[in-house]
Homo-oligomer: A and B are copies of this chain.
Amino acid sequence: MEPWRTAIASADETHIWIRGHDIASLMRRASFADLLFLLHRCRLPTAGERRLLDAILVAVADHGAGAPSCAAARLVASGNRQSLSAAVAAGLLAIGEPHGGAGSASMQMIAAGVERARRDTLSYARVAEDTVEAAMADGRRLPGLGHRVHTVDPRVAVLFDMAREAGFPGDGAAFLRAVEEAARRRIKPLPINVDGALAAVLYDMGCPPPMAQFVFMIGRVAGLTAEVAEEYARERPMRIHVPVEYDGVPPGRAE
């Protein structure tokens, strides 16, 4: 087999390098957020970038044992006590469109909107109006808006404030606020959720769309390990009985 090509990590008998940086040096001076930024952006972050990345990871780490990802991890821990990895991996598998994956779609919507506003010298309000109308016409949801629990997602304002304090350009956040306003007028109040907020901030940091889902997964895996640890510590195997109501062909009537 031909060797696989990679530009991420290399090693010899006594060294490991990440993107060309010696691991010993990174361990001494880099935080986990620094390393994550280095892995994906090929350089160490500024202080502002590090702070925002940490805030995003903290924001998405956990949201209660009943979130699909956390509940899937606990169900697997309930049935299979042989592998911590199996439970955590099952939790990750629950992440995608719509749970935790909306950030990537939101980044695409933001990128398209900001670019169009620039190209056609239109206001964000005007482009946001078109964005909302197009979604309504196609019966699509607006990615990054609305939440099934929160009327106001407490993580949104914090992220936007921190991004402003760090001096980020703010186009992503401004455009998403414009979409929120247009949606409120044309549909109903659909407050920006954490997927939307982190999408706007990552867009303003220059990241590509898949980064939104990667960052959600990385933050959430911390919460998943805690959920699995609690399931092992507090509950006995097979304790979960999901109640089911059968409404199919009556038992014994099929032949």
Contacts and interface: CB of A to CB of B under 8 A. Distances in A.
Contact of A54 (B19, B32, B89): B32
Number of copies: 4
Interface residues of A, number: 123
A241 B79 contact: no
Contacts of A59: 23, 27
B35 A71 contact: no
Interface string A10-24: 110111111111111
B154 A252 contact: no
B158 A27 contact: yes
A89 B73 CA distance: 12
A243 B3 contact: yes
Q: Which of A8, A21, A82 is the most central at the interface, judged by chain B CB atoms within 10 Å of its CB?
A: A8
Given A83-B85, A86-B94, 15 more contacts: A3-B243, A11-B63, A11-B150, A19-B254, A27-B158, A28-B55, A31-B33, A32-B33, A39-B225, A72-B90, A79-B100, A84-B101, A85-B213, A217-B221, A218-B221
Interface of A: 1-11, 13-24, 26-28, 30-36, 39-40, 42, 54-55, 57-59, 61-66, 68-69, 71-72, 74-76, 78-90, 92-101, 148-152, 154-155, 157-159, 162, 210, 213-214, 217-219, 221-223, 225-230, 232, 234, 237-238, 240-255
28 contacts: A1-B241, A3-B244, A6-B64, A8-B223, A8-B226, A10-B248, A13-B149, A14-B150, A14-B152, A23-B158, A24-B155, A27-B155, A27-B159, A31-B54, A32-B58, A36-B61, A39-B61, A39-B225, A66-B243, A72-B90, A75-B94, A76-B90, A79-B95, A81-B97, A82-B82, A84-B214, A88-B92, A148-B238
